[in-house]
Amino acid sequence: MTDRDPVAPSDAHLEWMPPHPTHLLETVGRLQHGRNDPVHRVVDGVLWRTSRSASGEPSTMRVRRRPNGSFRADAWGGGADAVVAAAPDLLGARDDPTGFVPRHPVIARAHARHPGLRIARTGDVLGALIAATLEQRVTGEEAMLAWQVLNRELGTPAPGPAPAGMMAPPSPQAWRAAPEALWRRAGVDNRRAGAIRHAAARVDALVRLADLPSGRVDEALRSLPGVGAWTAAEVRQRALGDVDAVSVGDFHLAAMIGHTLEGRRFTDAEMLAYLEPWRPHRYRVARLLYASGFETAPRRAPRQQRGPTR
């Protein structure tokens, strides 16, 4: 797609010139749940993402890099103005690396190889919470399938010229009303399904979390059924762009960091102690290492049971 072939007139658009190097795929790639994700997809270097406003209006956004280095966001559907206004945050506009010092040669090399990796902020607390809940105690492939099945079945057609198969995310009401047979077909057990239904019933409170300090967000999230340290950290990373949120309990993270940086597996406690000098950029360290290919097996999360929730 080119600027002279805009596909269809958009309802709103925005052009943004990042003040720092920004690599689109490295920044937003982890938000995609498989090649056929119904709500977030990068096709030929172009980002397509659907969303639903607080009032329930669906929208589709397309983000392209222009030859001059700027990004153009076009949106279709209800709330298009708000969607494009938030596009810079999605591309890492709020990510401030001030004070980040690589310290370790491996991290320094990763940082040098990925200067355009930013930490994305979606602002969608409910969507991030649902995605993280689906990822609890299962393989990445199982979580990906559940996400795709549920969004396709419960969502609504994406407005505008979205790629085939894309859907606007389900409304909170649709999540709450999802039949048991659909949860079973998606491979989602009753505990995770119940946690998602409860979260969807609290959507108004979740929306307000996006404007709170990270510590208060963590506390509020962990007060919900089915949400523990791992899930809360994952939500803070994706929805809030929290560069310091560490996914304690992840199936691979502590082992990967320990093996990569010190040649031995770490426990969670050892990982947290080791990462302390990088605070408040501990999640940035993990993203840089994963971007450099140090993950050698599919992620599975969380790693082991620590009480009834994650």
pLDDT in tens, 99-157: 999 999 999 999 999 999 999 999 999 999 999 999 999 999 999 999 999 999 999 99
Reference 97, options 247, 232, 271, 288; nearest CA is 288
Percent of the chain predicted with pLDDT > 70: 93
Q: Taking residues 71-93, what's their average pLDDT?
A: 97
- Can you give the pTM of this predicted structure? 0.92
pLDDT at residue 146, as a whole number: 98
Who contacts 211 (Cβ-Cβ below 8 Å, separation ≥6)? Answer: none
- State the Cα–Cα distance between residues 15 and 4, nearest whole angstrom: 15
Give the confidence band of 178 by pLDDT, cuts at 50, 70, 90.
very high
- State the Cα–Cα distance between residues 66 and 73, nearest whole angstrom: 10
